[in-house]
Amino acid sequence: MQALLEFAPLVAFFVAYRVWGLYTATAVLMAAMAILLVVDYVRLRRIPAMHTLSAVLVFLFGTATLILHDLRFIQWKPTVFFWLASIAFLASHWIGRQTLTQRLLSAALGGEEIRVVESTWKRLNLLWVVFYALLGALNLLVAFNFSEHLWVTFKVIGLPVANLVFVGAQVAWLVRRSAASVEPSPQS
């Protein structure tokens, strides 16, 4: 259910864009993010940090887009989000006991059941740093070199799919690696 809630503002943005255009879609996105924050608080009694960051950026860049009637502001939002995420992943090398990648993926993999050495977590974390930095740059490339329609489709479909494939590949690799490390070796 949480995953569906996280995509709801994006779906609302896309539908509003198809029906009314970018500026209305931006206002709908802002309203949907506000609703998501309320739902988060009611369900969890807290608001996840990533939702807070995303909402702040949506409100900031969305307001600039609507007041200045300039779509470039909302086009920058994904890039700023990805670059801030990249910085957070990088900072997690020195802040906290675990990297952000380890915190996110070990919870998804069942915590203690998956054994991964710290150096592997650090390398994976650096991969996330690079991935989000590149994803932010790719967003700018699409936003400023292709049509508005293509950028909206890329934002709503391409970016989430890229994230899903990236995380899915790492989870599959970690599960396979963990399974291989616990299998007994065949005896001759």
Give per-residue pLDDT as tens, 89-122. 999 999 989 999 998 888 777 765 667 888 889 9
Per-residue model confidence (pLDDT) at position 177 = 75
For residue 67, pLDDT over 80 is answered with yes
Q: How far apart are CA 174 and CA 180, in angstroms?
A: 10
Q: What local confidence, expressed as pLDDT, does residue 129 receive?
A: 98
Q: Is there a contact between 74 and 26 (Cβ–Cβ < 8 Å)?
A: yes
pLDDT tens figures, 119-137 = 889 999 999 999 999 999 9
Residue 88 has pLDDT above 90, yes or no: yes
pLDDT of the residue at 111: 61
The answer, yes or no, to whether residue 187 has pLDDT greater than 80, is no
Interval 153-177: pLDDT, tens: 999 999 999 999 999 999 888 888 7
pLDDT at 40: 94
**CA 73, 76, 77, 82: dihedral to nearest 10 degrees?**
-170
Going 104 to 108 to 113 to 115, the CA torsion angle's sign is negative
- Average pLDDT over the chain reads 91
